[in-house]
Amino acid sequence: FNLNNTNTNLQRSLTRLSSGSRINSSYDDAGGLAVSMKLSAAMRRTEATQANVNKAISLRQTQEGGMKSAEKVLTRMSELAQLAADVTKSTNDTTLYQTEYDALVDQLTQMEDEQFNGVSLFVADEATLAVVVSQDGSQTVGITQSDFNGIVDDNTLSTADLTDIDAITSTISNLEAAIQDLAQIRAENGSQQVRLTFAGDMLAINWNNLEAANSRIMDVDVAQES
């Protein structure tokens, strides 16, 4: 009887040493196994949440790339308006400026259709997407889908007439306002990227602590077991 008990305990010790786990079945430590299961599930959810946060950061970075292009477009449009204000330009010259200007307005408007993995980067009316940043789903960070058409329409850029010397001053003023609106959107984008980055860092810290807590329950003390 004693020999059988000794052999059974020896097999359990060998199993712990070979697996590296102190708990290999509920018989070893029923309570510890239950706690470990919850910690392991929390770790997996934390990993998934961190992956989602990183994808949200990628979406914001893609939006930032689009807004950089929009900045170049608006800058060129303001340059064209200023060039058209030259009194030495003929009607044909200003008409050519108007043609390029209208093409740039169309390009700016088309940015509304840009997507990231099927999710619209920009929408007709500004909207907010909620990004879950905690493994229990209790915390979220909002990221904005900006309205590029609003920049064009609110500042009446699409109706600008560069062939009318008297209206060009107003057009330049509207372009300055549009550039300011875009700067505000980019600032919001940057602040949301920073917040998501910090949220990702906190998830990494939480995962490390969960892993350490689970390790204290599950991992075998090799020296003691030997």
Kindly list the distances between the CA atom of residue 132 and the CA atoms of 37, 135, 208, in Å, as whole numbers in the listed order.
23, 8, 19
Helix (H, G, I), strand (E, B) or coil at 163: coil
pLDDT tier at 222 (50, 70, 90 boundaries)? confident
What does the pLDDT read at residue 69? Answer: 94
| DSSP letter assigned to residue 153 | H
What does the pLDDT read at residue 190? Answer: 95
H or E element, residue 179: helix 168-218
What does the pLDDT read at residue 55? Answer: 96
Percent of the chain with pLDDT over 70: 100
Name the average pLDDT for the chain.
Answer: 91
DSSP sequence for 53-97: HHHHHHHHHHHHHHHHHHHHHHHHHHHHHHHHT-TT--HHHHHHH
pLDDT above 80: residue 165: yes
What does the pLDDT read at residue 3? Answer: 92
| Contacts (Cβ under 8 Å, ≥6 apart) of 186 | 64, 67, 71
- The mean pLDDT of 177-199, rounded to a whole number, is 95
What does residue 86 show for φ and ψ, rounded to 5 degrees?
-70, 120
| Contacts (Cβ under 8 Å, ≥6 apart) of 127 | 144, 145
Which segment of 22-26, 43-47, 181-185 scores lowest on mean pLDDT? 22-26
pLDDT digit string (tens) for 31-52? 888 998 999 999 999 999 999 9
